[in-house]
Structure 1
Amino acid sequence: MRADGERMTFTRGQVVVAELRTAGWVEWLEERAMRGRQAYMDSNQSKAFAEFLARSFG
């Protein structure tokens, strides 16, 4: 296990098996992922995807 104040990483041998991040970092990543996926969608697909995320994670 290694911690650097921003994350905690768990390894087995030389392989990372889990990584814990702060809630703020996870929110930032989710926002970036949503905007990145929506950039490739037309407006109807983007709206449907946003509604799906709201139902799934809201």
Structure 2
Amino acid sequence: MQKRSVIVDISIDQGGCVQTSVPTTHADPVRVVHGIQHYGVANMPGAVPVTASEA
């Protein structure tokens, strides 16, 4: 992947789908590995439950 790319790992709760992903928190949601931003907050829909259930 190119540097400055973004990965949103929605399966981080089950171990993730990207080798370099690790669980993060809402307080510190992004981890940068080799210039690529990884967002791995567990239970992302839980942060916006009304919107998530409407989608």
Q: Would you call these one fold, judging by a TM-score over 0.5?
A: no
TM-score (norm 2): 0.27
> Whose helix fraction is larger, Structure 1's or Structure 2's?
1
Higher relative contact order (CA 8 A, sep 6+): 2
More strand by share: 1
Q: Tell me which structure has the larger Cα radius of gyration.
A: 1
